[in-house]
């Protein structure tokens, strides 16, 4: 077992790190100012995207690119440390065309789009010319169980007619968001997992109405986690993605690698929070001592380091498994890290906030944003409890390992 990065990964890490230092870090303040003033997308985004593409730091998340598709050809294992670097500045992933939910949508289109759908939607997405959203969650039903969703998709002649209400649809208020992949029910009478389909809906189709963009823990995201109403939205049957009744399977396929991209970025965010914690602990004094000399603070620092290392190892093991045995066989690992990483993200950010005193709650540090996003990730792509349930199911299924027969020594009767 080799824990070192491969020479190629190391080369890409250094390239990305240099790009972050030259172009991203100097613009953090400007990005904050512009988004807080309601200017979105920020003025420099398109220029930075062009630069990143020129530098070969483009579409790094997608293994298995075809020859004519733009981007690097990294494995999930090679991508993990790069996503970690991007996780320190959450908006930076858009610069490299590696931001959710576009990444998950590109993966879906890459796997299932028809040639016409590829041309119309995948190509501009991979070129970073447009943005997209994925619409599954509904306010009226428990959407962590995707079989509950109620949005109806009725076939009428050569069209589907879509009616329903979605919310928490990330990216939907981004001015460049041109397309939604919507999950609904094409046949409510079919088997439970065959009722759903996914349909590509251009955002400007009549009947698509953005109702509001709710804040998340009172944090306003300009790209949106929007509530959207679909009223008699008509799209051609050619907009069906994959097969009719195949939506549930597509949703499973979409969430595999995408879930661990979030985890990789969470580890980067936790690493940054620890660094900020250490800097502050060494400069701030209370009761005649630096904070770094207080036992409780040392314990936070040590625990944060241990927990980050644990999570990183599980993340890269999961990435390795996705590369080598596929996302389906790595289901348990994906669920495990999906529970571990967002909690780590909030826990380390929370310690760092506490150590910074009241300042930790202000926009003068990135900690409040990191805390908010880590907390949100405990829901996005499935809440903790659903993943815990899947892990337990898989463990129980593998039971009957015979341990009790070997290791228990009950009294003889």
Ligand X SMILES: Cc1cc2nc3c(=O)[nH]c(=O)nc-3n(C[C@H](O)[C@H](O)[C@H](O)COP(=O)(O)OP(=O)(O)OC[C@H]3O[C@@H](n4cnc5c(N)ncnc54)[C@H](O)[C@@H]3O)c2cc1C
Residues in contact with ligand X by the rule CB under 6 A: 101, 134-137, 142-144, 168-170, 216, 225, 376, 379-380, 382-383, 385-386, 389
Nearest to 36 by CA among 340, 369, 277: 369
Kindly state the smallest distance separating residue 387's Cβ from ligand X, in Å.
Answer: 9
- What sign results for the dihedral spanned by CA atoms 319, 324, 329, 332? negative
CB of 293 to ligand X, least distance (A): 38
Residues contacting residue 121 through CB under 8 Å, at least 6 positions apart: 109, 113, 130, 132, 179, 200
Q: Closest approach of Cβ 258 to ligand X, in Å?
A: 10
Min dist. Cβ of residue 44 to ligand X (A): 25
CB 101 → ligand X: shortest distance, Å?
A: 5
28-42 burial string, b = 16+ CB within 10 Å, else e?
A: eeebbebbeeeebbb
Tokens of 355: 């150590």
As a whole number of angstroms, the distance between CA 61 and CA 103 comes to 7
Of 163 and 294, the one with the shorter C-beta distance to ligand X is: 163
Strand intervals (E) in 101-185: 131-135, 152-156, 159-170, 177-185
Q: Tell me how far, at minimum, the Cβ of 196 lies from ligand X, in Å.
A: 12
Q: Give the DSSP letter string of 278-330.
A: HHHHHH-EETTEEGGGSHHHHHHHHHHHHHHHHHHHHHHHHHHHHHHH-TTTT
CA distance 172 to 135: 9
Smallest gap from Cβ 79 to ligand X, in A, equals: 21
Return the number of the residue (92 or 304) whose C-beta is nearest ligand X.
92
Decide whether 10 or 385 has the Cβ nearer to ligand X.
Answer: 385
Q: Nearest 10 degrees: CA dihedral of 309, 312, 313, 315?
A: 160
Residue with Cβ nearer ligand X (27 or 185):
185
Judged by CB, which is closer to ligand X: 79, or 168?
Answer: 168
Nearer to ligand X, 45 or 172 (CB): 172
104 vs 204: CA distance, rounded Å:
21
- Decide whether 70 or 383 has the Cβ nearer to ligand X: 383
* Per-residue CA distances from 220 to 73, 135, 316, 342 (Å): 34, 19, 32, 20
- Shortest reach from residue 407's CB to ligand X, in Å: 31
Q: Which is nearer to ligand X, 19 or 121 (CB)?
A: 121
């Amino acid at each position: 077992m080799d824990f070192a990065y491969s020479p190629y990964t190391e080369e890409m890490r250094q390239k990305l790190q240099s790009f972050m230092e030259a172009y991203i870090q100097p613009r953090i303040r400007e990005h904050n100012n512009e988004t807080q003033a309601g200017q979105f997308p920020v003025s420099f985004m398109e220029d930075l995207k062009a630069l990143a593409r020129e530098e070969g730091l483009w579409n790094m998340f997608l293994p298995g690119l075809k020859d004519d598709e733009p981007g690097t050809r990294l494995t999930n294992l090679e991508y993990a440390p790069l996503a970690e670097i991007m996780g320190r500045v959450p908006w930076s992933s858009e610069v490299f065309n590696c931001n959710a939910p576009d990444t998950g949508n590109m993966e879906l289109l890459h796997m299932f789009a028809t040639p016409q759908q590829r041309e119309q939607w995948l190509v501009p997405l991979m070129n970073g010319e447009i943005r997209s959203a994925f619409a599954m969650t509904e306010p009226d039903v428990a959407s962590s169980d995707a079989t509950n969703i109620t949005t109806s998709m009725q076939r009428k002649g050569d069209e589907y007619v879509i009616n329903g209400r979605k919310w928490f649809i990330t990216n939907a208020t981004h001015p460049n968001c041109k397309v939604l992949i919507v999950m609904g029910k094409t046949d409510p009478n079919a088997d439970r997992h065959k009722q759903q389909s996914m349909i590509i809906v251009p955002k400007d189709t009549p009947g698509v109405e953005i109702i509001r963009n709710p804040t998340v823990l009172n944090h306003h995201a300009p790209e949106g986690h929007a509530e959207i109403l679909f009223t008699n939205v008509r799209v051609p049957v050619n907009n069906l993605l994959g097969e009719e009744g195949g939506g549930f399977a597509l949703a499973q396929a979409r969430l595999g690698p995408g879930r661990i991209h979030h985890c990789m970025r969470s580890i980067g965010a936790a690493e940054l929070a620890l660094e900020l914690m250490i800097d502050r602990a060494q400069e701030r004094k209370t009761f005649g001592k630096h904070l770094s000399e207080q036992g409780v603070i040392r314990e936070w620092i040590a625990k944060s380091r241990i927990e980050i290392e644990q999570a990183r190892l599980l993340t890269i093991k999961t990435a390795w498994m996705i590369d080598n045995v596929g996302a389906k066989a790595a289901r348990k690992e994906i669920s495990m890290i999906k529970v571990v990483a967002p909690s780590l993200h909030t826990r380390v950010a929370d310690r760092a906030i506490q150590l910074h005193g009241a300042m930790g709650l202000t926009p003068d540090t990135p900690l409040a944003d990191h805390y908010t996003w880590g907390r949100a990730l405990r829901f996005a792509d499935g809440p903790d409890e659903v993943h815990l349930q899947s892990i337990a199911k898989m463990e129980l299924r593998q039971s009957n390992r015979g341990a009790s027969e070997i290791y228990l020594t009950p009294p003889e009767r």
